[in-house]
Amino acid sequence: DFFGYSVAVSGETIVVGAPSEDSNATGVNGNGSDNAAPDSGAAYTFVGSPVVDSIQRAGASPTASASVEFTVTFSKSVTGVDSSDFALTTTGLSGASITGVSGSGAAYTVTVNTGSGGGTIRLDVVDDNSIVDAANNPLGGVNVGDGDFTSGAVYSIEGFKPISKWTSAFDLSHG
């Protein structure tokens, strides 16, 4: 059938031609064994799944702020993004949590409570196939976890540390 005789690429879409395809099948999941249409030809369209392009800090680092924001950018417009799609990787912090997700299209902002203590915090994407593009292609591909992203920017969080311990004695005998 000369599959691959011609190929066209536009963005994340690839069309592969098979000019001598004999199948009489039409549509998705048609009867591919019905070869009643000799040399009718076919075109196969493949659309890439969205991926995470980057996770960047939206503010300065280091910071002593009680909350920080991360900007998550996808390779194309997606829907289904919510707080369950993210996880935090921390060192030295206690009680850090994701407090909000906003945005649309290919860019989202994730707000994170930094908790207590000093250390680092990174936002990760945990792919459970709930994030999809307009063609319903799941993040990273069809398998859960194939769109995970764990190499984003890190905030350094400056915790509150006592400067010194003060003790004093007062002499109240002098009126």
Q: What is the pLDDT of residues 107-122, one digit of tens each?
A: 999 999 999 999 999 9
Q: Distance between CA 131 and CA 72 in Å, rounded?
A: 13
Q: Distance between CA 120 and CA 140 in Å, rounded?
A: 27
The pTM for the full model equals 0.73
The per-residue pLDDT for 27 is: 67
The per-residue pLDDT for 149 is: 98
pLDDT grade for 173, boundaries at 50, 70 and 90: low
Mean pLDDT of the chain: 86
Structure tokens at 52: 């995470």
- pLDDT of residue 37 exceeding 80, the answer is no
